[in-house]
Amino acid sequence: MAGAFSWNKRQFGSENIETGGAWNFDNTPPLLDEVELRNYDIERERLGATLNVDYRLDNDNDLYLRTLYSKFKDTELRDRVTMAFAGGLAEGVTGALDGGEAQRELKDREEIQQIVSAVVGGSSRHREWTMEYSASFSHAEEKKPDSVESVFEGTGITGNFSYTDGSQSVVSGPDDFYQASSYTLTEAEKSTAETDDQIISVKLDLSKDFHWQNRPAMVKFGGKVSRRDKKASEDVWLVENINQPMTGFVNGGVDYSLSNFGPSVNPDAVRDAISGLPATLDEEKSTIGDYRITEDIDAAYIMGKVAIDRWRFLTGIRYEGTEFTIRGFGYDQDNSLAVAKTSDKSYRHWLPAFHARYRINDHQLIRAAWTNSVVRPTFEQARPGYVVELGDKAEFGNPALNPTESSNLDLGIETYLGRAGVFSAFVFYKDLRNFIYTTDLGGTGEYAAYSEARVAVNGDSGKVYGLELAYSKQFSELPPPWNGLLLNTNATFTDSSADVTGVNGGNLVTRNVKLPGQSDVTANVELGYEMDRFSLRLAANYKSHYLDEITRVADSRYDLYVDDHTQIDLTSRYQVDDQVQVFFQVTNLNDAAFYKYTGSSAYNAQYEAYGRTYKLGLTLSNF
């Protein structure tokens, strides 16, 4: 029997400046249409417990039980300041709001997640045969019981604004922009939401070890049946025409280092102010937030492996059949009408694979593999609902989405260096079909009545290929104290391409892009030292920029990219004695920020800073 218990409570936050890509590049110089300042204060509490039991019936039969309980509570306060400039604001040129708007908002919400899971199974052996079996149950629920988002509208703000270009796009405004007396609480949104997700599965595997022509071999086959049922519901109420000055809701200043932020909002004062006011159910948000999804997956496989002299071969095929059903709603805002939507989809996949390994000598071997994989669309992408937001602008789910399929080739060599070292080099190629991206299809086909129709669609094809290098070495052959040094490094160099389709002036256009989410270079370097009771690790992780979102297929200037990112982490441990260990960790030692830009790195889409995290701890053991 083995049991474990854990509890953690952490307070942290982040600071953010983002435009969301709200630039006008048709003007020279480009104009900034809107910018937001965000400050997050978060408290997270985690509780976890496990109990595992293993029981041996006899020499050939074992049973086990695995259980897990997890509770996660996340409390978030988010102050947000929004500036919208009618006509846009150019760098280095002062300008007023001129019909634009200034808002201060507070998001006050609590999220509670709970997971309970259990797996019971076992294994039985009879001569060359081994049977492994299990049944599992998992239930997860998420609740947002009493969320409040309040909006304070700015009025009578005069004077000029200006901004400095670059990753942060810091905007400076007149004095009255930062005064609580310039704002009025006009409306608030109250909501409750809940999801319930349950999965039941049964699995059976059979394997046999034998000799084929005096060569060791194995055959294995099995199957798994999984049934998933997820339900979600949300109710949203609007409290409007409040009209109370912000001076009665001030909670002091905001600890915000990126710019002048102004006053923060007191969440308790907002709740007190709206508690006795009438609220109206928001039919649109309350309707489209309700859905039920069932996903039934039946899978089976057969595989075999054999050793022939210096060769090792493994081959097999997996079958996966999916039945996907969604019940949900769309909402037509113009007609204040909710429409029930139902979608049923099924697909079948045969996924063959072949692996080979050849040992050149005692220190080198070659590996090769051909595999096939499939990734299903997310529930959000495949939902049946839609929302008509403003007249002829809408967002659609797409139940007709097909899963992304990939055929993969890998070839590489590994060289073992002395007592504790290895170098490897691998090339790879992936051929993607039906990859998923979001685009605007307004004015075409079934979306002809809409000037803007954002929908997730399947791309025709995409390709990824590259080189992966890795080196690991412990320098134990060096004289003391240098024999405690160690080095782990790896780097992946990738190129990719994909075709995406969108609308330009009512016509479909196709553009070739980098595969969204794919960096050209990723690399990791870890320096370490191990000696007696002391352990030290200093790690640097790098990821080059990548395409994150295609907002306008016909205009690459509005593509959103995530910038290069390098983060350094430090971990150290000291074993005081056999029972006591002290450890110290620093995460994000170099205080790296997250940066997303629009078209080129000069135009902010999102800049967010998190700071460093320090952890000092003690481990006590008694066996």
Q: Which residues of the chain have pLDDT under 50?
A: none
Strand partners, 162: 172
Closest C-alpha among 224, 228, 219 to residue 200:
228
Cβ contacts of 594 within 8 Å, gap of 6 or more: 562, 565, 606, 607, 608, 609, 610
DSSP 3-state assignment of 553?
coil
Q: Measured between alpha carbons, how far is residue 159 from residues 95, 305, 331, 450 in Å?
A: 8, 76, 41, 39
Q: CA–CA separation, 80 vs 391, rounded Å?
A: 27
Q: CA–CA separation, 563 vs 540, rounded Å?
A: 17
Closest C-alpha among 108, 104, 190 to residue 152:
104
| pLDDT value at residue 98 | 67
Reduce the secondary structure of 452-465 to three states and give it as a string: EEEEEEECCEEEEE
Cβ contacts of 194 within 8 Å, gap of 6 or more: 141, 142, 143, 144, 232, 233, 234
Q: Which residues of 240-261 are buried (b: 16+ CB within 10 A; e: fewer)?
A: eebebebeebbbeebebebbbb
* Maximum separation of any 2 CA atoms in the chain, in Å: 90
**Does residue 481 have a cis bond before it (omega within 30 degrees)?**
yes
β-pairing, 101-126 with 129-154? Answer: antiparallel
Per the CB < 8 A criterion, the answer to whether 308 and 215 are in contact is: yes
Is residue 545 within a helix (H) or strand (E), and if so which, with residue range?
none
Q: CA–CA separation, 215 vs 362, rounded Å?
A: 20
DSSP 275-316: TTS--EE-HHHHHHT-EEEEEEEEEEEEEEEEEETTEEEEEE
Backbone angles phi, psi at 378, to 5 degrees: -70, 165
| pLDDT value at residue 295 | 93
| pLDDT value at residue 164 | 83
Structure tokens at 385: 């609902």
Q: What is the dihedral of CA 257, 262, 266, 270, to 10 degrees?
A: -130
Q: Measured between alpha carbons, how far is residue 472 from residues 418, 526, 529, 542 in Å?
A: 11, 9, 13, 18
Neighbours of 294 (CB within 10 A): 15
Per the CB < 8 A criterion, the answer to whether 291 and 327 are in contact is: yes
Q: CA–CA separation, 120 vs 135, rounded Å?
A: 6
Q: How many residues does the chain have?
A: 623
Domain boundaries, the chain: 1-281
Reduce the secondary structure of 49-71 to three states and give it as a string: EEEEEEEEEECCEEEEEEEEEEE
Q: CA–CA separation, 457 vs 439, rounded Å?
A: 7
Cβ contacts of 1 within 8 Å, gap of 6 or more: 51, 52, 53, 54
**Does residue 267 have a cis bond before it (omega within 30 degrees)?**
no
615: amino acid identity, one letter: K
Structure tokens at 476: 């134990």
DSSP 3-state assignment of 602?
coil
**Does residue 479 have a cis bond before it (omega within 30 degrees)?**
no
Strand partners, 439: 455
HSE at residue 586, side-chain half, CA atoms within 13 A, is: 15
| pLDDT value at residue 300 | 98
Cβ contacts of 448 within 8 Å, gap of 6 or more: none
| pLDDT value at residue 92 | 81
Q: CA–CA separation, 283 vs 289, rounded Å?
A: 10
| pLDDT value at residue 622 | 77
Q: CA–CA separation, 8 vs 620, rounded Å?
A: 17
Per the CB < 8 A criterion, the answer to whether 438 and 456 are in contact is: yes
Strand partners, 365: 359, 414
Structure tokens at 49: 């417990």
Q: CA–CA separation, 531 vs 344, rounded Å?
A: 60
Backbone angles phi, psi at 288, to 5 degrees: -70, -15
